Amino acid sequence: MDFSLSEEEQSVRDWVRTFVRKEIQPLEQEVLRRERANQPGLTHDVLVELQDKAKASGFWGVQTPEEYGGMGLGAVMSALLEAELGRSFVQFRFGGYADNILYHANDEQKQRYLLPTLSGERRSCFAITEPGAGSDARAIRTSARQDGTDWIINGEKTFITGGNEADFTMVFAVTDKEKGANGGVTCFLVDRDQGWRSEYIDTMGEWGPAALVFEDVRVPKENILGEVGRGFELAMKWIGRGRYMLPARALGACERLVEMAVEHANTRVTFGESIANRQAIQWMIADSAVEIEALRWLVLHAAWVVDQGGDSRHVQSIAKLYGGQKANEIVDRVLQIHGGMGYTRELPVERWYRELRLLRIYEGTDEIQRRTIARNILKGHASISGTLG
Ligand SMILES: Cc1cc2nc3c(=O)[nH]c(=O)nc-3n(C[C@H](O)[C@H](O)[C@H](O)COP(=O)(O)OP(=O)(O)OC[C@H]3O[C@@H](n4cnc5c(N)ncnc54)[C@H](O)[C@@H]3O)c2cc1C
């Protein structure tokens, strides 16, 4: 068993580490200032500028297949990069990304949706959740009714990331009520100017998702992604595309947060002594270090299983559940170590505290991950001895 990184993994990881330190972290104060003024932390122009800088060094389309000009990196490498990006709260992502299900588009749709998304000209959003259907995605009610060769969509989606900014949505609608999620849900690519509207949802995070409203939105059959009735499979494919990436990002955040806690503990003096000498503080740092180490290996192992092409759902659920839980405990400890300063808006700790809370909710809540893990164990689909048997 070899736990070391290959030379290539190390050099790619180190490049991103330097990029984050030199290009992204210096923007943090300005990003915080803008967010505090209810503006997007990174403007689109600054994001594109950063993406272009990264692209000049070959960092574009990290997971995008090479035939589309991307780097086509595997899951382990992607997890390593995501953890480095997580070391800043600035919402940077490399350019050249498109949702995995857009690769199921036909040639004409690829020209209209996939390629402009990769080049950054168009922005997408993924819309399955509804006011009455979140964890239970099979209960969606948004409907699409056939009218000649067109389809007419009615319904409401909620909590859609990027829904305020997107030019088009991948929306999931019931096309056969009898069959429902078992062959009766279809995915439609719908441009904003075809008639849907979005409404901002204020959350405790810095950037709000949207509600999408469809009132008699008419789309031609050419806008169906994949096949009629096969939409639910596409939705599951999108959700399962890389669950390990969420805890990977949280891993980077936890590393940075604990570094901040260590620095503060070493410099803050109370009752004539550094708080770093107090066992109460040391134990918080020790527990966090152990959990970060465990999280690192859960994330990398899940990514490794993805790279092996095996069924990774169980190990991805484990990494997502553990990452969400522990990141929240760690940021809480780091805030505690900073005392009153941790609670202020001068430091980014409270910002991370609010952001990391989302990890326990979206793309499968803690409870849904536990349900998956327990079901796999109880039904014998996964072994409690893990992949070592
Ligand atoms: C900021 C943000 C961004 C999001 N982005 C998107 C997006 O881009 N696209 C999209 O389609 N959706 C998105 N979502 C929706 C997200 O995936 C759902 O909020 C999530 O799946 C939970 O669904 P719900 O909110 O309806 O909660 P519910 O499903 O109503 O759950 C409520 C509570 O009950 C628990 N629960 C539910 N069922 C069970 C069960 N069987 N056993 C035990 N406990 C259970 C849940 O864990 C939770 O604690 C986003 C949400 C947020 C907050």
pLDDT beyond 90 at 258 = yes
Ligand 1 atom nearest residue 363's Cα: 17
Query: Residue 174's pLDDT is what?
Result: 98
When pLDDT is cut at 50, 70 and 90, the band that residue 383 belongs to is very high
pLDDT beyond 90 at 40 = no
When pLDDT is cut at 50, 70 and 90, the band that residue 251 belongs to is very high
Contact 156, 214 (CB under 8 A): yes
From 100, 124, 128, 129, give the residue whose CB has the most ligand 1 atoms within 8 Å, as the site to mutate. Answer: 129
Query: Residue 240's pLDDT is what?
Result: 85
pLDDT tens for 330-365 read 999 999 999 999 999 999 999 999 999 999 999 999
pLDDT tens for 3-26 read 999 999 999 999 999 999 999 999
Q: Which residue segment(s) compose the domain that 83 sits in?
A: 7-99
Ligand 1 atom nearest residue 136's Cα: 29
277's tokens: 């000498």
Which of 199, 223, 238 finishes a domain? 238
Tell me, what CATH number does 206's domain have? 2.40.110.10
CA nearest ligand 1 atom 50, residue: 159
Query: Residue 235's pLDDT is what?
Result: 97
Positive or negative torsion for Cα 208, 164, 319, 257:
negative
When pLDDT is cut at 50, 70 and 90, the band that residue 387 belongs to is confident
What does DSSP say about strands 143-147 and 124-127: parallel, antiparallel, or unpaired? unpaired
- Give DSSP secondary structure letters for 313-349: HHHHHHHHHHHHHHHHHHHHHHHHHTTHHHHSSSSTH
Domain membership of residue 118 (yes or no) is: no
CA nearest ligand 1 atom 35, residue: 367
Kindly give the distance from the C-alpha atom of residue 270 to the centroid of ligand 1, in angstroms, as a whole number. Answer: 43
Kindly give the distance from the C-alpha atom of residue 67 to the centroid of ligand 1, in angstroms, as a whole number. Answer: 35
Claim to verify: residue 246 and residue 345 sit in the same structural domain: yes
Domain tally for the chain? 3
Claim to verify: residue 60 and residue 128 sit in the same structural domain: no
Q: Rounded to whole angstroms, how far apart are CA atoms 144 and 58? A: 42
pLDDT tens for 185-211 read 999 999 999 999 999 999 999 888 999
Claim to verify: residue 321 and residue 355 sit in the same structural domain: yes
Which of 217, 238, 259 finishes a domain? 238
- Give DSSP secondary structure letters for 46-92: HHHHHHHHHHHTT-SSTTS-GGGTS----HHHHHHHHHHHTTS-S--
Ligand 1 atom nearest residue 203's Cα: 1
Kindly give the distance from the C-alpha atom of residue 131 to the centroid of ligand 1, in angstroms, as a whole number. Answer: 10
Contact 253, 259 (CB under 8 A): no
Q: Which of 41, 17, 38 is nearest to 28 (CA)?
A: 41
Mean pLDDT of all residues in the chain? 96
From 124, 135, 356, give the residue whose CB has the most ligand 1 atoms within 8 Å, as the site to mutate. Answer: 135
pLDDT beyond 90 at 310 = no
For residue 275, give the DSSP letter.
G
Tell me, what CATH number does 283's domain have? 1.20.140.10
Claim to verify: residue 249 and residue 191 sit in the same structural domain: no
Bridge partners, residue 145, by sequence: 152
Kindly give the distance from the C-alpha atom of residue 201 to the centroid of ligand 1, in angstroms, as a whole number. Answer: 15
Mean per-residue pLDDT, 374-384: 96
Mean per-residue pLDDT, 244-265: 98
Kindly give the distance from the C-alpha atom of residue 275 to the centroid of ligand 1, in angstroms, as a whole number. Answer: 40
Mean per-residue pLDDT, 24-46: 93
Claim to verify: residue 80 and residue 150 sit in the same structural domain: no
Domain membership of residue 116 (yes or no) is: no
Claim to verify: residue 226 and residue 263 sit in the same structural domain: no
From 361, 369, 371, 375, give the residue whose CB has the most ligand 1 atoms within 8 Å, as the site to mutate. Answer: 361
Where does ligand 1 bind, in terms of residues with CB under 6 Å?
126-129, 134-136, 159-161, 203, 205, 209, 358, 361-363, 365, 367-368, 371
